[in-house]
């Protein structure tokens, strides 16, 4: 009995020793939290004086919805999951007798920040970065600083494709924020978002970098987003995302939300892309982008298998435009681009960004795989230009893949802007078939089967039948004016 009591006492002593936390440990924890809070406060003091509250006035007809347009129109993508722009509330103005009947005013709001201040003897000019969607329809723009000072602003330049805009005011002595090197940003770093959510001026929220290099989000034409869980909401658009040094690593642009409010996923345009776009907008008033003249698609495991290469090795060239820089450099349809300017190519979005930011006239190297062999091509980047239904006929049905096709007669060729004998046209797609799941639609033109041109419905049928044993067929199709490869397996 004495032994048992002693053992119980020892056990109790051990348990107590485990759950007792020394006072100095508690003090250290509180002190660490206090230092963290001081760091955030320091960022707020440094950044907030350069952040502006933007108010935009524009026209709206009485029959229209009083809001700025978003990239999605009236329909949000992905059913209930949508990316919502940060406009904040907008209110119709009071009717005025001197306005045309049916016309009304709308007010929008957003955020921005000073990134360049030019002080001169004759005139002082301050440049402010914001989102294009905040100011694109603006007739009047006013900006308000933290100290209450207000200025009228005008648009220096806009770039809808990247959703970046620069506006300017006449003022002097205003502090500009430093744009950091966003390529050095790491997942897990603390970041601070400052803006005007729901019109609440100069609100600070804190989070971490959740991911970098998000390029296929579907918000802008050119994307390279930083993902963060810092709380950002409507009205934050155009505000800075800063690191603990008080330097800007990104500009808050969009959120992923079911409710329209914060759900832990926000997106910011990285500072390196901001810098490249903003400099061109200030110097030229517009953005000049590099151009290759190719249609590209992601190299899926199925496509990689069809091309007999390892997956994840690059991106696939689905189409090469006539007389384009890519064609002049010797790039072919079916080539796989694995490197650009000596840097590996892993995804479509990153590749497009790098090409677009390369000045026209510059010569760069493209490393490609062709028929399993590595080649290097020298390509001179061009300049991207801003300009840039079925008739009856003999049909063949490929039941294995769920397609019915017809030979391209002269009438069909004229209708689909093709040459007679250049492929076959899809007249029917069986619902639920592998072709339907791959997104092939009636009206698509199939140019190749297993990388061999087909000129008639009979040739198409024979080519598909030859693929039955392998239970996989590779199609090159043209649909909506664009060419792409589709790998079908059954």
Q: Which tokens in the block code for residue 31? A: 């002190």
Task: Assess contact for 68 and 137: CB atoms under 8 A.
Answer: yes
370 exposure class (CB count in 10 Å sphere: 0-12, 13-18, 19+): middle
Q: Which tokens in the block code for residue 467? A: 């693929």
Question: What is the three-state SS of 309-347?
Answer: CCCCCCEEEEEECCCCHHHHHCCCCCCEEEEECCEECCC
Name the residues annotated as catalytic.
Answer: 133, 163, 237
First to last CA, the chain: 75
DSSP 487: E
Q: Which tokens in the block code for residue 276? A: 């490249």
Task: Assess contact for 117 and 178: CB atoms under 8 A.
Answer: no
Backbone φ and ψ of 217, nearest 5°: -75, -35
Q: Which tokens in the block code for residue 436? A: 């339907």
Q: How far apart are CA 173 and CA 367, in angstroms?
A: 49
Task: Assess contact for 151 and 170: CB atoms under 8 A.
Answer: yes
Helix/strand/coil for 48: helix
Q: How far apart are CA 242 and CA 229, in angstroms?
A: 13
DSSP string, 227-262: EE-S---TT-TT-EEE-TTS-EEEEEEEEEESSSS-
User: Which residues neighbour 303 within 8 Å (Cβ) at sequence distance 6 or greater?
Assistant: 297, 316, 474, 485, 487
Residue 453's CB is within 10 A of a number of other CB atoms, namely 13
């Amino acid at each position: 009995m004495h032994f048992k009591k002693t053992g119980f006492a020892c056990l109790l002593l051990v348990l107590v020793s485990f759950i007792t936390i020394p006072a100095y440990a508690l003090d250290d924890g509180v002190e660490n939290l206090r230092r963290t809070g001081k760091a955030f406060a320091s960022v707020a003091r440094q950044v907030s004086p350069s952040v502006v509250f933007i108010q935009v006035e524009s026209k709206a007809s009485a029959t229209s919805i009083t809001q700025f347009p978003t990239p999605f129109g009236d329909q949000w993508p992905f059913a209930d999951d949508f990316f919502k722009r940060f406009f904040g509330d907008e209110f119709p103005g009071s009717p005025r007798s001197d306005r045309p009947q049916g016309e009304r005013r709308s007010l929008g709001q957003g955020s921005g920040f000073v990134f360049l201040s030019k002080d001169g003897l004759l005139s002082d000019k301050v440049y402010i970065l914001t989102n294009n969607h905040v100011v694109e329809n603006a007739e009047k723009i006013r900006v308000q600083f933290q100290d209450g000072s207000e200025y009228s602003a005008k648009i220096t330049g806009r770039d809808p494709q990247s959703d970046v805009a620069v506006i300017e005011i006449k003022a002097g002595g205003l502090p500009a924020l430093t744009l950091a090197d966003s390529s050095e940003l790491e997942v897990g770093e603390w970041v601070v978002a400052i803006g005007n959510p729901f019109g609440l001026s100069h609100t600070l929220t804190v989070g971490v970098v959740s991911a970098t290099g998000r390029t296929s989000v579907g918000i802008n034409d050119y994307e390279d987003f930083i993902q963060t869980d810092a709380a950002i909401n409507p009205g934050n658009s155009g505000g800075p995302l800063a690191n603990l040094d008080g330097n800007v690593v990104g500009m808050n642009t969009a959120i992923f939300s079911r409710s329209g409010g914060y759900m832990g996923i926000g997106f910011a345009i990285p500072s390196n892309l901001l810098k490249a776009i903003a400099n061109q907008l200030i110097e030229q008033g517009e953005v000049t982008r590099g151009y290759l003249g190719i249609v590209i698609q992601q190299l899926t495991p199925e496509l990689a298998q069809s091309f007999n290469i390892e997956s994840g090795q690059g991106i696939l060239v689905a189409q090469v435009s006539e007389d384009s820089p890519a064609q002049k450099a010797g790039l072919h349809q079916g080539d796989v681009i694995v490197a650009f300017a000596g840097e590996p190519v892993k995804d479509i979005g990153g590749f497009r960004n790098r090409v677009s930011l390369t000045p026209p006239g510059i010569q760069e190297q493209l490393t490609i795989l062709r028929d399993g062999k590595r080649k290097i091509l020298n390509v001179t980047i061009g300049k991207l230009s801003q300009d840039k239904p079925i008739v009856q006929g003999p049909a063949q049905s490929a039941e294995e893949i769920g397609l019915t096709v017809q030979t391209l007669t002269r009438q069909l060729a004229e209708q689909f802007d093709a040459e007679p004998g250049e492929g076959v046209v899809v007249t029917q797609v069986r619902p639920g078939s592998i072709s339907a799941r791959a997104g092939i639609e009636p009206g698509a033109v199939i140019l190749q089967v297993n990388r061999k041109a087909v000129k008639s419905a009979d040739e198409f049928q024979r080519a598909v039948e030859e693929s039955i044993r392998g239970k996989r067929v590779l199609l090159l199709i043209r649909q909506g004016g664009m060419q792409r490869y589709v790998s079908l397996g059954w």
